[in-house]
């Protein structure tokens, strides 16, 4: 079986729909909360997981509808638009006002993803094809052929995200592999390592003014790669670089800073 295309799907502040109110729906909600999505949950009329209700009460779920799913839920936030694809050609999308209208529609009106987490096969199949008709990315829980995307096991340390996917074939194995990765990084503040290196990269872009030709860009990339390879992940996680420290290091470009770790610690 061919592998999936693993991507980081940006859903921050975008509409996401979860259909269902049980354990699987809750797991989808947790994924979306970490991604800072605007989450709508349609629970059905059965028992709703109490944590879903609690998350809504805390404002982490935008809207909680404790009722059965309705087909119109898939477009519940959409508003009439002058930019009807059936009436306007793509080549006619040229003005800033049109750009803004499209941005608002994508951000506030159209679901970025739909997750169906119910045990009704007939209804979930209907929802899948309704989403396909509306061009909405959809995941039907426990039915890999009806999934545009999968939820793998995630290892998170704020800025660091590692996803392990078995293409929906063995979620349990994904979790075992994720737990093994977590043990390897036990006691290491990976997020600080990322912040230190991210700060150096950002200050390099801000302070180093050279041509934006491919050669100059490659030189800057090679510089930051070489500096990244100076130290181990643990060593990068134990540094505390300020913006002033980073600027002093970056101003040495195109020369390299010393490789001695003590020099970096004393910055």
Tell me the CATH number at 75.
3.40.50.720
The full length of the chain comes to 267
Residues 44 and 140 both lie in one domain:
yes
Q: Is residue 164 part of a domain?
A: no
Residues 136 and 28 both lie in one domain:
yes
Q: Is residue 184 part of a domain?
A: no
**What are the backbone dihedrals phi and psi of residue 129, each rounded to the nearest 5 degrees, phi first?**
-75, -30
Q: Is residue 159 part of a domain?
A: no
Helix axes 190-207, 214-228, angle to 10 degrees: 150
* pLDDT tens-place string over residues 229-262: 999 999 999 999 999 999 999 999 999 999 999 9
Residue 65 DSSP SS3: strand
Bridge-partner residues for 38, per DSSP?
15
Residues 137 and 201 both lie in one domain:
no
Helix axes 23-34, 50-57, angle to 10 degrees: 30
Residues 205 and 118 both lie in one domain:
no
Number of domains in the chain: 2
Residues 210 and 85 both lie in one domain:
no
Mean pLDDT of the chain: 91
* pLDDT tens-place string over residues 32-71: 999 999 999 999 998 999 999 999 999 999 999 999 999 9
CA–CA distance, 194 with 200 (Å, rounded to integer): 10
What is the predicted pLDDT for the residue at 2?
Answer: 63
Residues 86 and 19 both lie in one domain:
yes
* pLDDT tens-place string over residues 25-34: 999 999 999 9
What is the predicted pLDDT for the residue at 158?
Answer: 82
Residues 260 and 210 both lie in one domain:
yes
Q: Is residue 141 part of a domain?
A: yes
* pLDDT tens-place string over residues 121-163: 999 999 999 999 999 999 999 898 999 998 888 888 888 888 8
For 24, the domain range is: 15-151
**What are the backbone dihedrals phi and psi of residue 155, each rounded to the nearest 5 degrees, phi first?**
-110, 120
State the virtual CA torsion across 101, 107, 112, 117 in degrees, nearest 10.
-130
CA–CA distance, 146 with 42 (Å, rounded to integer): 19
Region 174-189: what's the mean pLDDT? 91
Q: Is residue 178 part of a domain?
A: no
pTM above 0.85, yes or no: no
């Amino acid at each position: 079986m061919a592998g999936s295309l693993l991507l980081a799907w940006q859903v921050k502040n975008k509409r996401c729909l979860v259909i269902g109110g049980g354990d699987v729906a809750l797991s989808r909600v947790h994924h979306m909360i970490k991604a800072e999505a605007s989450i709508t949950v349609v629970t059905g009329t059965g028992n709703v997981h109490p944590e879903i209700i609690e998350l809504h009460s805390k404002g982490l779920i935008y809207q909680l509808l404790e009722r059965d799913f309705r087909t119109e839920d898939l477009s519940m936030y959409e508003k009439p638009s002058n930019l009807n694809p059936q009436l306007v050609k793509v080549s006619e999308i040229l003005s800033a006002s049109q750009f803004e209208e499209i941005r608002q529609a994508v951000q506030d009106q159209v679901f970025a993803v739909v997750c169906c987490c119910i045990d009704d096969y007939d209804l979930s199949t209907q929802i899948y094809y309704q989403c396909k008709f509306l061009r909405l990315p959809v995941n039907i829980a426990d039915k890999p052929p009806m999934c545009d995307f999968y939820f793998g096991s995630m290892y998170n340390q704020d800025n660091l995200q590692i996803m392990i996917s078995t293409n929906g074939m063995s979620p349990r194995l994904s979790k075992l592999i994720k737990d093994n990765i977590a043990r390897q990084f036990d006691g290491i503040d990976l997020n600080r390592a990322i912040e230190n290196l991210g700060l150096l990269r950002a200050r390099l872009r801000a302070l180093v003014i050279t041509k934006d030709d491919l050669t100059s860009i490659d030189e800057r990339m090679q510089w930051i790669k070489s500096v990244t390879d100076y130290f181990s992940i643990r060593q990068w996680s134990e540094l505390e670089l300020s913006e002033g420290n980073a600027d002093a290091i970056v101003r040495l470009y195109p020369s390299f800073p010393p490789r001695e770790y003590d020099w970096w610690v004393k910055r």
